[in-house]
Structures are given as C-alpha cells and as structure tokens.
Structure 1
Amino acid sequence: MNVTEAYVDSLALNSGAIKNGRDLAKKNSFTLLGISEDQTVLFGECQGSGKEPYRCSADFVKEESPVFRCSCPSRQFPCKHVLGLLYSRTTGKTFGVAAIPPDLLEKREKAEKREEKKKEAAETETPVKRKTNKAAAAKKAAAQLEGIGIAEKLLHHIVQSGLGSLDKKSLQTAEEQAKQLGNHYIPGIQTTLRELLLVLRSEDDRTAVYARAVEGMINLHSLLKKSREHLQIRADQPDTPLDTETPLEERIGHAFQIAELRDSGLAEGETELLQLAFRSYADEARGEYIDEGFWADLPTGRIHTTKTYRPFRAAKYIREDDSFYEVIRAKELFRYPGDRNARVRWEEATMREAEAGDYSRVRSYAVKSVADAVKQVKNQMKNPLSDKHPVLLLHAASIGRTDDGLYALLDESGNRLLLTDIDCLGHPTVPLLPMLNERWLKDQAYLVMFEHDMALGRLAAQPLSIVTDDAVIRLLY
C-alpha cells in the first residue's frame, strides 16, 4: 500500500474536497483509525453532525484499483471522510492493527466472487463480434450528413458575405443556426463552428481576428469535406468500421468506448508514465473545462496527452485533475486515434516515486536537432485534421537572447528556435526564463508547444517545462 499525499490529491474531485479532507485529518476528527493485519485495508470512524459516526474505508487488496466506501450520504466520491482517512495515513497518524470489520470483509468476499464469475465467463465464452444495426447506422449517418449540409451553408454564407460585413446581428443568427447541429450527432463539428464564431466575436485587433478567422474557416472547410466523404460511405455501407487510423471520428464527435479501443488494437500492455506538464482551461466552444496533462512514456519516449472534460454545469461532480509528480504504472494503456501526442487513458494503475533514472531516460528521448523538430512539426501541421499545437521534447545546448532581445533555443549545431508565448496557452512562460538558475538554461531537455503564427508566417514555440537530471521544472501551471 503506497499512500502518498500526491496520490490522495489525485483522487479528490476538486480543490474543495482536498481542503475538507485535510481539515478532517488536521483536526483529529477520526475517533477510530485502523489498519488490517495484512496492511491492505484502512478503516476509520469520523464524527459527523449526527449521533453515529461515519464509517469509511479504503481497500487496497487490488492496489491498481482500490475500493473506497463510506456510510455518509455525500454525492462526491471519494467523499471528504475517505480523503481524510487517507490524509491521516500520509501525515503519520497512528493506525491500530485490527481485524477487518465483518461488514467490509463480507463486501470484499462478494466482490471477489463477482470477479471470479466474470473471469470464468470470459474464459468459457466465445467472443461475440458486435453486430451493427444497419438501419440505425444508416439513419444516423443520414442525420449527420444533413447537419453537415447546414454547417456548409453557414460557412458559405460567411465567406460570401465577407468578414468585414459581419455584425452582431448576423453573428447571432449564425450562432442560432449552429445550435441546430446539436440534433445531428456531430458535436465535434459543432464545436469547430462555435470556435470560429467566437473568434469573429472577439474584440481583439481586427487584423489578428481576421487572420485567426481565415485559419478557422480553412480548418472547418477541410473537416466538413473529409466528414462528408466519410459519412457518405457509412450511409451507403452502414457496416463500415470506425476509422481508427486518423482523428476524424473524434473530430466529427464520436466518443470512443474502452471496448472499441481494445477491439481496434489500440490497447497496449503495462507501461510507466511521467507527467511533464499540466494545465486546466475553459473551452467556451465545448462548454467544458478541460484538464490536460502531457506525459512521457518511459519505455518508448512518446509524449501522450490525457484530457478530463468537465461540463460547466456538472463540473463540481467530476474529478478535477491536477499536476502529478509520481510515476504512473498503468496496467493497460488505451490510446485514442490521433497524431504525435495521442490522447491516452487507463483504468487501473499504481504509483511510485520518480527516480533520477526516470528523468535521465526522458532526457535521452529529446530531439537533438532544431531542424528535425521543425520538420516533424510542419509535417503534422500539413494535415488539415491534425492537432495544430503539437508538443515535442527538445534538447537545448543553451537558451539565450538574440540580437533583437528575443529568447531562443540553440541546438548543438548552433541552429536556433525562437521562443515566444503562444495564443493557444494564454499563460506566458518566456518571461520566467531570466529568473531561472543558469544551469537550467544549458544542456537540458525542454518540453515545447508549437503554434503557427499566421500574422508573422512562422512557427511559434513556447516552453512548458524543463527536464533536468533530477527533476521536472514546470513553467506552466
């Protein structure tokens, strides 16, 4: 059982739950703290507002997928009492060794029996290939094509009218039409259209707005064209399998299930991941908060992303991710179709403390040549459906200023990559560079996010973090 403060933080739904759980541990609110003889179960009693204390527990018999229970009526899970129990463990509170309470033992035995039955059924049953309901698939594809038609007409109207003639009234009309797409099973396309309309509504400098709008229209046009071709095939042949080679399905709006990823060969075996950067932001077009992490796959060096989507209206009921400093040991890694920084997820995992060897391994994967890095980024950006903000790990022989006073990353050959803050992130990190220890500006690995600056006609790159021999120095929070 490896219960650390960072691990408990990662379980909490939000910062409020973390504070409440820590307060319970700090104020000694637990009248009982116990641990089983085999060190797999923590249990306790926490005094609440009623006569009877709340009974909570954390069962780590399967460390990669622990079970948390509490008798309180809270809708948050794990609740503050379970978090308080775990924080009591991390802060060195005394847990008396005792037998597992009978009710917990009974629940554990029932869970074990259910798992055994599932395992037996899986071993004896012949895998059944999922059948496609052709009529339903054809009907859905027809509705999607109808929605694409609405979006195409709207885009054509914007182009035909001219960006300079769009006023608040016409944009309001366009937004009302965009809402109709919610009935056509294309939420991804609807989001892309909303992104364009948000750009057009911006009060920023019109030259910059028009540059971003043109890029948005090109992106939307390419998405609509590819989507129509793909969905027309599905309408004609309803049993056409999902496209798992490109990000098209997700760009249209398909939400992949675990079973689909596994059936498509997108499930990988056990691996270890180290988080290099993290950010949370509000996506107005989606109507959601997004918690995004960038992780180095220790065995392969690939940079993955994780994303937790929290709708504005339900954000308080969904676990809020945060920066993570330990190494994740994922039992099975699921990879979504995508580009260089594919989105991943896992269901079961354990944690361990990061070691010097982990940082050295990550550093060894850094791209040594600026020219190679730029080539990789440009090749990805050429694909109209690709992520336009790729992240790479680059080796920097040094970080210094140019004659113009700008910061640049220099490789071993003296080739340079200008560093600047990009619009996508909205949080500056370049101004932090002169505050860093000088040793962090030489012979280090930098995690960098790229963006194409249409106004200047060049790549813009912003540093997210620095990987040294013994730590990850995060510039972005």
Structure 2
Amino acid sequence: MISITEAYVDSLAINASAMKNGRDLAKKKSFPMLGKSADESLIFGECKGSGKEPYRCSVDFVKPEEPVFRCSCPSRQFPCKHILGLMYAYALGSSFVTADIPADIVGKREKAEKREEKREEKKNEPQGEVSPKKKKTNQAALLKKIAAQLEGISLLEKLIHQLTQAGLGSLDKKTLKTLEDQSKQLGNYYIPGLQIAFRGLLLEIGSANDLKDKESIYSAIVENLGTLHTLVKKSRDYLSARLDNPDSPIDIETTLEERIGHAWQLAELKEHGRVRSGAELVQLAFLSYTDHARGEFVDEGYWVDLNSGRIDITRSYRPFRAAKHMREEDSVYQVVMPQELFMYPGEINARVRYEEAALRDAVTGDYVKIRDAAHRIFPDAIKQVKNQIKNPLSEKHPALLLSYAEIRRMDNEFVIMDEQGKAIILSDVAFPDRATTPLIPLLNKEVVHHQAMLVIFGHDMETNRLRVQPISIVTSNEIIQLLY
C-alpha cells in the first residue's frame, strides 16, 4: 500500500508554480476519473485538458523507491502538473475507485521487468581476467581544442586591455555594451569559465556606474580585475604545458580546470578516485540565488559529513531558458546517506554531488557529532582560512564550523568568543543582500553560550581584518538556520 502525503508531492514539484498548478487541479476536481490498483501500487486518472480528449496520467509504485510517472500531455515539465494533481488528489482524500491495471501499463511493467532481468544477468556474468581498456584520448582533437583555448585567452587579454586602457571611472554603458558583445566571441573557444568571469566583471562595473558613491565598490572591482588577470595567466601557462605534453594529466587537485570551463562528469571524477562512500550528510544551510554572469539560477547547500566533519557544498545550476522545466532544489532536514559521494576539485569546501541516497531522521547523537567537529580555537581556523584566501584564485568566502563559548556585543558589534577569549566579529560579508547578523539579537538565551556556528569568512578591506557571517547554529538537539 502506497503512502502519499502533501509534503511528499511538494518535494517532487520542480518549482512553486508547478506545485500551485497541481494543487489547483486537485482542488477544482479536474479529474473526472480516478482509479487505483487492488494492491494500491498504482494510481491513475484522467484530467480535463484544453482538447477534446482528457490527459491520462499515472504514478506507478511497483518500486516504491523509484516511482514511475506517466502522462499523455505534451508538457516538458517532469513530473507535470497533471501527475502532481493526481497525487495531491490522493493525498487530500479524493475517492479513487479500485480497478484493473490498464493494459498499456501492464505491458510497460513487463518490458521494465525484462530490462531489469537483462541488467542483472549482465551484472552476474563472469568477468574475464583482462580488465577493459581505459578509453583512449583522441590526442589530435585534444591538441586542437587546447590550441583554440589559447587563442580564446589571447582574445580575452585584448578585451581586458581595452577595459583597463579606457579606465574604470570613464566606462559608460555604451562601452560596456560593446565589450559585452565582443565577449560573446569567447564562446567559440571552449573557455566558458573565463567568459563568465569576464562577463561578471562587466556586470559589476555596470552596477557601480549606477551608484552615486562609485568609489565604495571600486576597490573590490580592482581586486576582481587582478584575480581575472591571474586566472588568465595561470590558464595560459597550464594549457601551454599541456599543448607541449598532451600526455600530462589533467589537473584534479585545484579548481583551475573548472574555472577555465571544464564540466566534470561523474565518470571522470570516479576514474580519478574523487568519490567516497559511507558519508552521512546533514544540511546546515541552503540558499538559491541568481548568477547573471552565468545566466543561471543556482541552488546551493552547505553540508557537514557526520563521519569526517568536512563542510562540503552542493551546487546545482538551472539555466534561465530551461529553468521552468527543471526541478528546484530545496532545504533537506533529514540525514542523507549517499551511495557514492562524488567530490569536485576544491579546497576547504569542495563541491560534492550524489545521485542515489537513503534518508533517515536526525537523532541527538548526530547533533553532538556536528558540535564535536567544530573548530574550538579560532586562531587555528583563521590560519587555515588565510592559507586559502591568499591564493588569488581560491574561494574568498570559505565556510567553517566554529565552537564558541559566547556571543557578545562589543563596541556596537556582535562577536563570537572561543574558550581562550579570542574574538571574531560577526558581519554580513559573504551575502550582504541576505543579512543574517541582525538576527543574532533574536536568538534565545540558551544558544548564546557553548554552541557551534557555521560561518562564512570574508575579508574586510577597510579594516584589513577577517570577519564572519553567521549562517546556522547547532545545539545539542537542533539546527537553527539563519540562511535558508
């Protein structure tokens, strides 16, 4: 017998609009026919559409952990609003008539069973002693691609030169538009990461020109311009070395390949040993934001691994043009146990990804593990952060879990103190548009002392000091998310 709740259906919707449309169909009783199999492993129905014929939809729970959604509508959304409406109708208690499983679904189930049998047979076939050969790289194609990348880098250098020659203070909208149009040519040279970095700089300059106090953010723009210059230089050196020696291995330790534009495939990460098993992840924070330079919506989660204490990041991208057809990520409140956890190259906070995972509810012991994994001595954590951010190409806002003895107000600012009395100032340094520090006075007194806090570091250029933005607080029995 299947169990469908409204929360479960909500989790399947690709966005809030799909969720609303599905609920509306159920509430407006747009299903003249609702049926279920005798064992309740299948629900199906007919939904009124714009045409003469109704849309036929079904949800097959023959494998409860892998439900199969089917609908005759032409929508590219998956699951579509008709399937969501069908499940909402079931969750809200609509009457479903017990009926025979439709013949077409019986046929599809049989085909699926045969495919599964073939997979099992292939899996159980005895393997020969000779392991399959590793796929050989097409060296000629690789050399051609690298040569094109180097050509694109030369073009990017010319655009940067035009930018700096004109002077940041004198750049008007027309000049920026011309540079933006010229930067589109970079799309022909297999360097999308570098193209995005340059476009981001142009957008930043454009936003500064709209402000009255331009000087307030020009120092940040100059710093980003310097970072882009370093990225271009290191990219050229790296690619030139690979052009001279195409057998040299791809860089799997730093983010350079990704910043040039390489999109890591899971098979690649696994081939290079960048996968771990046995992880148990708890989400400490989640946010969605718009990356105009990429032309994508980004869903980002901050996670702690209960077994290693690592703080990892999940990040999924939804291009503007296809966003309505892609499922939005959301906050997760259970412990996630991935079958395999794939790790992208990175530093303090590596990006991770998983395909299949089991879930369980968090228990008190989990929160204790998280608190025990926090850094107890602030200078040690600060040293680790400084070692990362002094590299021009490193992430400038690393996240760490800090154990604090007290949250205190000092000189009109909030600080967290470690057990040795060392203080770090709390400030909205990483996400100024999502202020979390003003939430500190609203915390219960119970969490002001001896808890753990997930923070994101940032460098305050005016004071030349590191500050941290509070993201979440972990107590002995809960996670208080300040960013979600």
- Aligned with 1:420 (options 417, 427, 439): 427
State the shift of 1:51 in Å: 6.2
Is residue 303 of structure 1 aligned with residue 304 of structure 2?
no
Distance 2:477 2:451 in 1: 11
State the shift of 1:328 in Å: 2.3
Is residue 57 of structure 1 aligned with residue 58 of structure 2?
yes
> Given that residues 25 and 82 in structure 2 are in contact (C-alpha distance below 8 angstroms), is that contact kept between their aligned partners in structure 1?
yes
Change (3 A) 1:423 1:366: closer
Aligned counterpart, 1:375: 383
Distance 1:287 1:138 in 2: 29
Aligned counterpart, 1:439: 446
Change (3 A) 1:317 1:373: same
Output the TM-score relative to the length of structure 1.
Answer: 0.90
Change (3 A) 1:178 1:265: same
Aligned Cα RMSD in Å?
A: 2.6
- Choose between structure 1 and 2 for higher RCO, CA contacts under 8 A separated by at least 6 residues: 1
Is residue 34 of structure 1 aligned with residue 33 of structure 2?
no
Is residue 363 of structure 1 aligned with residue 371 of structure 2?
yes
Change (3 A) 1:252 1:27: same
Aligned counterpart, 1:290: 298
Aligned counterpart, 1:216: 224
Q: Deviations over 1:156-194 (max 9, x none)?
A: 344455433434444333323322211111010111111
Distance 2:313 2:454 in 1: 13
State the shift of 1:341 in Å: 1.6
> Given that residues 283 and 289 in structure 1 are in contact (C-alpha distance below 8 angstroms), is that contact kept between their aligned partners in structure 2?
yes
Distance 1:244 1:339 in 2: 11
State the shift of 1:32 in Å: 2.4
Output the TM-score relative to the length of structure 2.
Answer: 0.89
- Give the residue type in structure 2 aligned to 1:177: Q
Distance 2:403 2:113 in 1: 49
Bigger Cα displacement from structure 2, 21-30 vs 295-304: 21-30
Distance 2:468 2:432 in 1: 11
Change (3 A) 1:3 1:412: farther
Q: Deviations over 1:369-425 (max 9, x none)?
A: 2212212211111222221111111122221200x2101111122211100112545
Aligned counterpart, 1:256: 264
Distance 1:220 1:115 in 2: 50
Change (3 A) 1:28 1:300: farther
1:225-374, aligned counterparts within 5 Å?
225-374=233-382
Distance 2:176 2:196 in 1: 15
- Give the residue type in structure 1 aligned to 2:161: H
Aligned counterpart, 1:48: 48
> Given that residues 304 and 310 in structure 2 are in contact (C-alpha distance below 8 angstroms), is that contact kept between their aligned partners in structure 1?
yes
> Given that residues 274 and 295 in structure 1 are in contact (C-alpha distance below 8 angstroms), is that contact kept between their aligned partners in structure 2?
yes
Change (3 A) 1:348 1:104: farther
> Given that residues 430 and 457 in structure 2 are in contact (C-alpha distance below 8 angstroms), is that contact kept between their aligned partners in structure 1?
no
SS of 2:450's partner is strand
Aligned counterpart, 1:465: 472
- Aligned with 2:437 (options 430, 436, 441): 430
Distance 1:122 1:293 in 2: 35
Q: Deviations over 1:50-80 (max 9, x none)?
A: 6665443334455554332223332210112
State the shift of 1:307 in Å: 1.4
SS of 2:463's partner is coil
Bigger Cα displacement from structure 2, 27-36 vs 145-154: 27-36
Distance 2:132 2:84 in 1: 40
Distance 1:36 1:223 in 2: 62
- Aligned with 1:454 (options 457, 461, 478): 461
Distance 1:243 1:326 in 2: 35
> Given that residues 147 and 181 in structure 1 are in contact (C-alpha distance below 8 angstroms), is that contact kept between their aligned partners in structure 2?
yes
Q: Deviations over 1:35-59 (max 9, x none)?
A: 663x7x3422143236665443334
SS of 2:263's partner is coil
Distance 2:472 2:86 in 1: 34
> Given that residues 63 and 350 in structure 1 are in contact (C-alpha distance below 8 angstroms), is that contact kept between their aligned partners in structure 2?
no
Bigger Cα displacement from structure 2, 180-189 vs 153-162: 153-162
Aligned counterpart, 1:9: 10
Is residue 199 of structure 1 aligned with residue 207 of structure 2?
no
SS of 2:280's partner is strand
Q: Deviations over 1:70-109 (max 9, x none)?
A: 2333221011232234445555667777775543343233
Aligned counterpart, 2:180: 175
- Aligned with 2:149 (options 144, 150, 169): 144
Report how many aligned residue pairs link the two structures: 474
- Give the residue type in structure 2 aligned to 1:412: E
> Given that residues 45 and 53 in structure 1 are in contact (C-alpha distance below 8 angstroms), is that contact kept between their aligned partners in structure 2?
no
Distance 2:416 2:92 in 1: 42
- Aligned with 1:164 (options 162, 169, 182): 169
SS of 1:229's partner is helix
Listed as ranges, the gaps of 5+ residues in structure 2 are: none
Is residue 388 of structure 1 aligned with residue 383 of structure 2?
no
Aligned counterpart, 1:20: 21
> Given that residues 282 and 303 in structure 2 are in contact (C-alpha distance below 8 angstroms), is that contact kept between their aligned partners in structure 1?
yes
> Given that residues 188 and 250 in structure 1 are in contact (C-alpha distance below 8 angstroms), is that contact kept between their aligned partners in structure 2?
yes
> Given that residues 399 and 409 in structure 1 are in contact (C-alpha distance below 8 angstroms), is that contact kept between their aligned partners in structure 2?
yes
Change (3 A) 1:86 1:359: farther
- Give the residue type in structure 2 aligned to 1:19: K
SS of 1:388's partner is coil
Distance 2:230 2:52 in 1: 63
- Give the residue type in structure 2 aligned to 1:106: G
Q: Deviations over 1:272-326 (max 9, x none)?
A: 3222111111111111111111122222222221112112222211211222222
Change (3 A) 1:459 1:15: same
State the shift of 1:237 in Å: 2.9
Aligned counterpart, 1:474: 481
Q: Percent identity?
A: 56
SS of 1:211's partner is helix
Listed as ranges, the gaps of 5+ residues in structure 1 are: none
State the shift of 1:462 in Å: 0.8
SS of 1:377's partner is helix
- Aligned with 2:136 (options 126, 131, 135): 131
Change (3 A) 1:351 1:18: farther
State the shift of 1:7 in Å: 4.2
SS of 1:281's partner is strand
SS of 2:383's partner is helix
> Given that residues 420 and 462 in structure 1 are in contact (C-alpha distance below 8 angstroms), is that contact kept between their aligned partners in structure 2?
yes
Change (3 A) 1:300 1:34: farther
Distance 1:63 1:301 in 2: 32
